[in-house]
Structures are given as C-alpha cells and as structure tokens.
Amino acid sequence: MTGTGDAFSGPTADPATHGRRHQMTPDEWGEQGWESVNILMNMLAIDVPMISAVNGPAVRHAELPIMCDIVLAADEATFQDSGHYVGGLVPGDGVHVAFQLAMGYNRARYFLLTGQILNAAEAKDVGLVNEVVPRERLLSRAWELAYQLMRQPELNRRYARILLTELLRRQMSELLPYGLALEGLALLRKG
C-alpha cells in the first residue's frame, strides 16, 4: 500500500478551522460510519501479509499504513492525525485503537489530542514505522520484502497474517463501533 504523488494522504489541519464544530445529520453520519467500519475491518480481513510504503506525509487516516504488517517510510514522510481532534472531531474512527496499540497509550493520546506531527525517524522511534529509507529506494525495498515473504508456503503467509493481526482485529471489533458512536454524537445536528 502506498500513496501517489508526493503525499501518502492529506490534507494537513487548517489552523483557521482548528476546533471548528462539524455537523451531520444522522443519515449522513450513518453512511460515513458504515464506510469507516468496513474499510478498516475489510483491511484486517486480508489474509496475506501487507506492506505499506509511506511515500510522503500521512496526515489523514495515517492508521491505514500502520495497520499493515510491515511499515516502511520515506525519510521525508510525516505522520499526523489532522482530521480529528485538532480538526474539531472526536478521534473515534479507528485511530483511537490503531495508534494506542502501535505506540502505547500515553504517546497515542498526546499524538491524537495535539495534532503532533512525527517525522519518519520519530515515527520509527515510537513504533509506527519499521524502516526509514530514502524515497528513491522505498518501493524497491517494499518489493524486496514482498519477495522475501513470498518464499514461505501460502498457508504460512495466510495463517501468520491472521495470527499477527488478531489482537488488532479484536480491538477494532470491540472499540471501533463505540468510537464511531461517540464521534457521531459529537457532530450530529437536527435533520
């Protein structure tokens, strides 16, 4: 999994809208919540190892690359949650699970509540990234690792992925609907 162009995902938070009150109708939130649950749970249902190659800033939905089994980052990559708390939303669409499991509770809460931007080296230091490589080597390194993983028999690859994502899958299954409910309650407006 990688981004296109210079960024993995964006945009960054707009300081002019910091803490702005978002609003949706229950029907609008129902559709968005359904999509949020399904993208994360479907990603976890992929039963072969996944590699993310973070080619640049991952500032929106940075939980997606860190949910992969191997996370590579270009040396100029950054990680942020620009779309939730600093953007006026409760961080309940899976970021609350993925980041706490990947970087620990205290670091994740600080990261999510402050809109902290981590560079690639810092992301590696806190456990979000496995390797930092020059951008021009990013995809070739991802392919090297993919070929290495492919040397194992198919059942080893599949069962390893299932086993190594089980804790994340269970936590998402239990806490994602709760997080989305709280996020939704904070932004609902009358229809």
Q: Where are the domains of the chain?
A: 15-183
Catalytic residue among 28, 35, 63, 144: 63
The pLDDT mean for the chain works out to 91
Largest Cα–Cα separation, the chain: 56
Q: Which whole-number Å values give the CA distances from 152 to 45, 52, 161, in the listed order?
A: 20, 19, 12
Residues 164, 162: Cα–Cα separation, whole Å? 6
* CA trace torsion 69, 72, 78, 79 (10° rounding): 0
pLDDT at position 65: 97
Residue in the structure block whose two tokens are 């999509």: 35
CATH superfamily membership of 15-183: 2-enoyl-CoA Hydratase; Chain A, domain 1 (3.90.226.10)
Closest CA to 73 of 149, 143, 117, 130: 130
Residue 76 appears among annotated catalytic residues: no
pLDDT at position 180: 93
Tokens of 86: 């600093």
pLDDT 10s digits, 79-108: 999 989 988 889 999 999 999 999 999 999
